[in-house]
Amino acid sequence: MPRKNELERKALQIILEAGEDGILQSEMWKKLGVTSREGSRLALKFEEKGAVVRERVLHKGRWTYKLFSQTKLVSLESIRDCPCIVCEGLDKCFSGGQISPIHCQQLTLWMDPSLADSIE
């Protein structure tokens, strides 16, 4: 049986890879090769740490839990249009610098286009 930390890392990876569909708690412990008791203990521990959300679901006539990772996979596609990528001031832009991401309107609008009317 893998060491405790390795087991937790593997469990979190399984839950993360399940993505937005989540994974039934029973599927997680079967994939891990642990008992239902150990699987439940891990799921509870992850929930307490805020790494996982457990949602009660009815599956094949029985109540169980579905696990959803609070960590999301990020793709390069998600930052494709980020203005920083082509910004001429990138190498001078830092918190506390002359130009800063904290006060950058371009970045703010890219993150939340709904603010377009409130930023001039």
Under rule CB under 6 A, residue 106 binds ligand SF4: yes
20, 29, 26, 27: which is closest to 53 by C-alpha? Answer: 20
> What distance in Å separates the CA atoms of residue 90 and residue 100, rounded to the nearest whole number?
9
Cβ 83 to ligand SF4 shortest distance, Å: 4
> What distance in Å separates the CA atoms of residue 36 and residue 29, rounded to the nearest whole number?
6
Q: Choose the stretch contacting ligand SF4; rule: CB under 6 A; options: 22-30, 32-40, 63-71, 103-111.
A: 103-111
> What distance in Å separates the CA atoms of residue 90 and residue 86, rounded to the nearest whole number?
8
Q: Site for ligand SF4 (CB under 6 A): how many residues?
A: 11
Question: Toward ligand SF4, which CB reaches closer, 44 or 107?
Answer: 107
> What distance in Å separates the CA atoms of residue 43 and residue 26, rounded to the nearest whole number?
10
Under rule CB under 6 A, residue 101 binds ligand SF4: yes
Residues that bind ligand SF4 (CB under 6 A): 83-84, 87, 89-90, 93, 99, 101, 104, 106-107
